[in-house]
């Protein structure tokens, strides 16, 4: 019986030694093999990076005007349509001017009579038969008649509607034959050479922008419409309520109108580059792990372990960040899989689909 028990105990000890996962009766066990965390990595590189601020805006023309009628009457000539291009001073239309013409004729007649009367009074005054007051009255009558003629001529000129500057007809309010009153809206003319986008920049960025600086303008809905504008003006005051400064970005003529250009009223996105650095260390922003006010990355070591490294950041764009300290060119940083990774933990490199890379697969085998 004792021999049988002795044989059974030896058998159990052998079984335990052959199974590293089995623990003995007092809680001790063979150390388990550490599981490797699958990760995707990228190297730290050198390159250029820009820091920019983006703001929404509405495209508008700085020179746009609504032409009003300066006389009352019926439009006898008005054939413009929206989209027509006009030169400065070009004729827009004509208001019927028969009553103004008749008024001018009467004013000229009165002027001629006043001049004849003045000649008679002047002759009588030289002969001593007319007083100084009579002479002054005759002279005043000539001046008044001349003013009436000038007013009548101006009224006739006002029946001609002309373009105050060159541009495109963007809105038409009346048609030929309409009866208009003085002050009535006729058309709106827009100078597409003066398109701008106005954005509001935080006060802290004021020292990083300047007149003449380039700015990328892109349509928010019409994404294919984009190009480079230039900062045209920076407002001399800061809005105390919002803490922002108004910046006017001018668009070049090739970005205005047409099938691919911007139109007044379009929504656009303006991107202003505030700072640029060349030949700096760049790390993918996907690698960054933020804890409180500190930033860390996991660097893959030669023994396939991941070292947790604190880094200082400089400029940032949408995808990359400048590593001011903590990293070197060629360092392999974890960009995916770091959520479950601890300092010193073992890793295995995988591709974007989660499949082990060729080298990693052979090592595990």
Whether the Cβ atoms of residue 40 and residue 349 lie closer than 8 Å to each other: yes
| SS3 (DSSP) at 256 | strand
Tell me, what's the pLDDT at 253? 87
pLDDT score recorded for residue 357: 78
Is residue 34 scored above 90 in pLDDT? no
User: Rounded to whole angstroms, how far apart are CA atoms 80 and 100?
Assistant: 25
Average the pLDDT over 361-365 and give the result.
49
Measured between alpha carbons, how far is 301 from 344 in angstroms, rounded to an integer?
9
Using the predicted structure, report yes or no on whether residue 7 has a pLDDT greater than 80: no
Band the pLDDT of 23: cuts 50, 70, 90: very low
The residues with which 200 forms a beta bridge, in sequence order, are 246
Alpha-carbon span 57 to 271, nearest angstrom: 11
Convert the pLDDT of each residue in 113-165 to its tens digit. 999 999 999 999 998 898 999 999 999 999 999 999 999 999 999 999 999 99
SS3 content of the chain, % helix, strand, coil (to 5): 25, 40, 35
- Identify the pLDDT of residue 292: 86
Alpha-carbon torsion (256, 262, 267, 271), positive or negative: negative
pLDDT classification of 359: cutoffs 50, 70, 90: low
Q: Is the pLDDT of residue 96 over 90?
A: yes
What's the mean per-residue pLDDT of the chain?
87
pLDDT class of 28 with cuts at 50, 70, 90: very low
What are the pLDDT digits (tens) for 77-91? 998 999 999 999 999
Q: Could you read off the pLDDT of 244-257 as tens digits, one per residue?
A: 999 999 999 888 87
Backbone phi, psi, residue 156, to 5°: -70, -40
Do β-strands 179-180 and 167-172 pair in parallel, antiparallel, or remain unpaired?
unpaired
Residue range 50-65, pLDDT digits in tens: 888 899 999 999 999 9
98 — phi, psi (to 5°)? Answer: -65, -40
Which among 251, 316, 255 has a CA at the least distance from the CA of 283? 316
Interacting residues of 316 by C-beta distance below 8 A, sequence separation 6+: 49, 51, 285, 322
pLDDT over 50 (residue 12): no
Q: What percent of the chain has pLDDT over 90?
A: 70
Mean pLDDT of 103-111: 95
Domains of the chain: 37-49+278-364 (2.40.420.20), 52-63+192-276 (2.40.30.170), 64-90+166-190 (2.40.50.100), 97-158 (1.10.287)
Sequence-ordered list of residues with C-beta below 8 angstroms from that of 100, at least 6 positions apart, any chain = 71, 152, 155, 156, 159
pLDDT value of position 358: 66
For the stretch 186-234, pLDDT in tens is 999 999 999 999 999 999 989 989 999 999 999 988 888 889 999 999 9
- pLDDT greater than 90 at residue 331: yes
199 CB contacts (<8 Å, ≥6 apart)? 55, 56, 57, 246, 247, 249, 270, 272
Predicted pLDDT at 138: 94
Check whether 269 has a pLDDT greater than 50. yes
């Amino acid at each position: 019986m004792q021999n049988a028990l002795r044989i059974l105990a030896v058998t159990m000890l052998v079984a335990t030694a052959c199974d590293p996962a089995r623990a003995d009766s007092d809680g001790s066990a063979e150390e388990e093999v550490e599981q490797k965390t699958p990760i995707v990595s990228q190297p730290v590189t050198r390159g250029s990076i820009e820091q920019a601020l983006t703001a929404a805006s509405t495209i508008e023309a700085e020179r746009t005007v609504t032409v009003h009628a300066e006389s009352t009457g019926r439009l006898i000539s008005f054939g413009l349509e929206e989209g027509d291009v006009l030169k400065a001073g070009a004729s827009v239309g004509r208001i019927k001017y028969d009553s103004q013409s008749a008024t001018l004729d009467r004013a000229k007649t009165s002027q001629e009579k006043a001049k004849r009367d003045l000649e008679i009074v002047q002759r009588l005054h030289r002969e001593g038969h007319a007083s100084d007051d009579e002479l002054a009255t005759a002279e005043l009558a000539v001046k008044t008649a001349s003013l009436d003629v000038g007013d009548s001529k101006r009224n006739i000129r006002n029946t001609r509607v002309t373009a105050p500057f060159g541009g495109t007809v963007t809105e038409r309010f009346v048609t030929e034959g309409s009866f208009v009153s003085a002050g009535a809206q006729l058309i709106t003319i827009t100078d597409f050479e003066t398109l701008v986008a106005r954005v509001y920049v935080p006060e802290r960025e004021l020292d990083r922008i300047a007149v003449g600086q380039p700015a990328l303008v892109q349509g928010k809905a019409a994404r294919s419409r984009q190009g480079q504008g230039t900062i045209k003006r920076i407002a001399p005051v800061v809005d105390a309520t919002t803490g922002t400064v108004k910046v006017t970005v001018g668009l070049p003529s090739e970005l205005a109108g047409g099938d691919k250009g911007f139109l007044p009223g379009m929504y656009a996105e303006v991107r202003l580059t505030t700072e640029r650095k060349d030949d700096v260390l760049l790390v993918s922003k996907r690698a960054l792990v933020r804890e409180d006010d500190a930033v860390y990355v996991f660097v893959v070591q030669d023994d396939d372990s991941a070292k947790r490294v604190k880094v200082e950041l400089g400029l940032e764009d949408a995808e990359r960040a400048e590593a001011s300290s903590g990293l070197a060119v060629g360092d392999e940083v974890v960009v995916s899989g770091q959520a479950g990774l601890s300092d010193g933990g073992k890793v295995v490199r995988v591709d974007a689909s989660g499949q082990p890379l060729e080298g990693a697969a052979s090592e595990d085998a």
